[in-house]
Amino acid sequence: LELPSGPEDHPGPPMMRILQLNLNHCEAAQDLFCDTISELRIDVAILCEQYKNLAPPNTWLADADGQAAIWVHGGIPVQERASASTSLLRVGPNRRNFLFQRLRSTKTL
């Protein structure tokens, strides 16, 4: 997977690199995630089933039951505003808005 190396490769407004992953509660997958975000210079990662929540200095926003998290690169400002079913994040110097709604499925047999 090759991504543009930076803003100089993309004319126009700055781009934000977003990665979405399911880590399947696997320690090795989370270790690989940590290497990958550095290598690919990811700005924001949306994760499901993380192995564990990361401690500071990481910006790590996790749901109450530990099933999903949002990781944000350390230098990017974040403002969080949450309600029972929706979280609004303002990310980056230009304060781009990201709206995340938590969906629950009912288990049926």
Q: Is residue 26 part of a domain?
A: yes
Q: In whole numbers, what is the pLDDT of the chain averaged over residues?
A: 72
Domains in the chain, number: 1
Output Rg (C-alpha) for the chain, integer angstroms.
Answer: 15
Helix, strand, coil distribution of the chain in percent, nearest 5: 15, 35, 50
CATH code for position 62:
3.60.10.10
In a domain, 107, yes or no: no
**DSSP strand pairing (96-101 vs 86-91):** antiparallel
pTM of the model: 0.64
The answer to the question of residue 29 being in a domain is: yes
Alpha carbon distances (Å) from 100 to 11, 83, 87: 28, 11, 5
Q: Residue 20 domain-assigned?
A: yes
Q: Outline where 2-106 has alpha helix (H).
A: 27-39
Instruction: Give backbone dihedrals phi and psi of 63, rounded to 5 degrees, phi first.
Output: -75, 170
Structure tokens, 11:
């004319």
Residue 60 in any domain: the answer is yes
Residue 70 belongs to a domain = yes
Q: Which residue segment(s) compose the domain that 91 sits in? A: 7-101
Which tens digit of pLDDT belongs to each residue from 61-81?
787 777 888 888 876 666 665
What is the C-alpha separation between 34 and 45, in angstroms, rounded? 10
Please, are residues 21 and 30 in contact by the beta-carbon 8 Å criterion? no
Note the pLDDT of residue 61: 79
Structure tokens of 54?
């990361």
- Structure confidence by residue, pLDDT tens digits, 14-55: 678 889 999 999 999 999 998 999 899 898 898 988 898 887
